[in-house]
A = this chain, B = another copy of it.
């Protein structure tokens, strides 16, 4: 059985495992007050090209989104997101559970456009009844998006410009950030991200870590008492050093970037295989998730040998399915897939 269900099926990169084993019986202080967290923070800020800034380590994506968004928003505010955004659809209402509305804008291949965002904000501020409405207090985008697509440097800057014009922070969900940055089609770097948004996270769970996400706040002070709100949200890991160690290794010798690059390059080859075999892509994702239209009978046939994600029906006799390639993928693996297609 071949598995392309998701990019979080394996444990962690061997170097991380090795380090975890090495220090397993050491005694570290709790809640992120240890030396590994300190070191990881510094390495991350350096990789971001930031002289200062804040870094917090959390455990998972939905948790991070809810913790960040609820901590940033004032009570009368909501967060703007694409209607296809992870927070809009697949987080069981975690944002609303903290009391805030997700204000949606129709997506274009998973993205929101600066122009549409501007129009939304303009309309809101021109609406004479807006004191009876949810104030847009933040913008959420994902990079890569839920469809594996990417914002260009220009698009990101434009969105951030709109945000600055309206004085609301831009938050980037980077659950798969590495795969986006390392795509051959991306003109965006980690440094660029760090200077073109107000808060973002570097996803570890789906990109080499056993688990963990690193929230980066480029300008200090965006969220006073964030530590306490992380605790309040149930998102504070007692053994915070487990997260610190992992990110410390990931940000040593470019490991984070190298393993993401490998995955994207393999995904690219996989995409070509699909195309060569005559299958149509649903969307031309340049990252580690490939969305293909497969006939129902092909899906059925494959299912006994390959696992992958069902996305949505395409038409009466075919469906969109997702093949996700993880940091741990090898060329051999997709060769086996190729033989089954």
* A239-B227 CB under 8 A given contacts A24-B11, A75-B232, A101-B102: no
| A5 contacts across to B, CB distance below 8 A | 27, 29-30
Q: Is the CB of B234 within 8 A of A60?
A: yes
Most chain B CB atoms below 10 A, which of A21, A134, A225: A134
Q: Is the CB of A238 within 8 A of B89?
A: no
CB of A17 within 8 A of chain B?
A: yes
Q: Is the CB of A97 within 8 A of B99?
A: yes
Question: Could you say which of B70, B135, B234 contacts A63, with CB atoms under 8 Å apart?
Answer: B234
Give chain A interface residues in 217-264, CB to chain B under 8 Å. 224-225, 227-229, 231-239, 242
Q: Is the interface of A mostly helix, strand, loop or mixed?
A: loop
CA distance A27 to B211 in the complex (A): 15
CB-based nearest B residue for A90: B132
Q: Is the CB of B135 within 8 A of A239?
A: no
CB of A3 within 8 A of chain B?
A: yes
CB-based nearest B residue for A333: B27
Question: Could you say which of B62, B63, B71, B231 contacts A92, with CB atoms under 8 Å apart?
Answer: B231
Indicate how many identical chains form the complex. 4
| A234 contacts across to B, CB distance below 8 A | 60, 62-67, 94, 233-235
Q: Is the CB of A227 within 8 A of B20?
A: no
Question: Could you say which of B63, B78, B233, B238 contacts A211, with CB atoms under 8 Å apart?
Answer: B238
Q: Is the CB of B27 within 8 A of A20?
A: no
Question: Could you say which of B23, B30, B128 contacts A8, with CB atoms under 8 Å apart?
Answer: B30
Q: Is the CB of A90 within 8 A of B129?
A: yes
CB distance from A156 to the nearest CB of B (A): 26
Most chain B CB atoms below 10 A, which of A65, A74, A91, A101: A101
Most chain B CB atoms below 10 A, which of A91, A102, A210, A239: A239
| A78 contacts across to B, CB distance below 8 A | 93, 96
Known: A9-B29, A67-B234. 7 other contacts (CB 8 A): A5-B29, A10-B28, A75-B97, A93-B100, A94-B231, A96-B99, A132-B231
Name 13 A/B residue pairs within 8 A (Cβ), A-sorted. Answer: A3-B27, A5-B30, A10-B24, A10-B28, A61-B238, A91-B232, A96-B96, A97-B99, A101-B102, A128-B310, A131-B225, A210-B242, A234-B234
A interface residues (Cβ-Cβ under 8 A, vs B): 3, 5-6, 8-12, 14, 17, 20-21, 23-30, 59-67, 70-71, 74-76, 78, 89-94, 96-102, 128-129, 131-135, 205-206, 210-211, 224-225, 227-229, 231-239, 242, 307, 310, 328
Shortest 5 CB-CB contacts between residues of A and residues of B = A63-B234, A11-B24, A9-B27, A93-B134, A92-B232
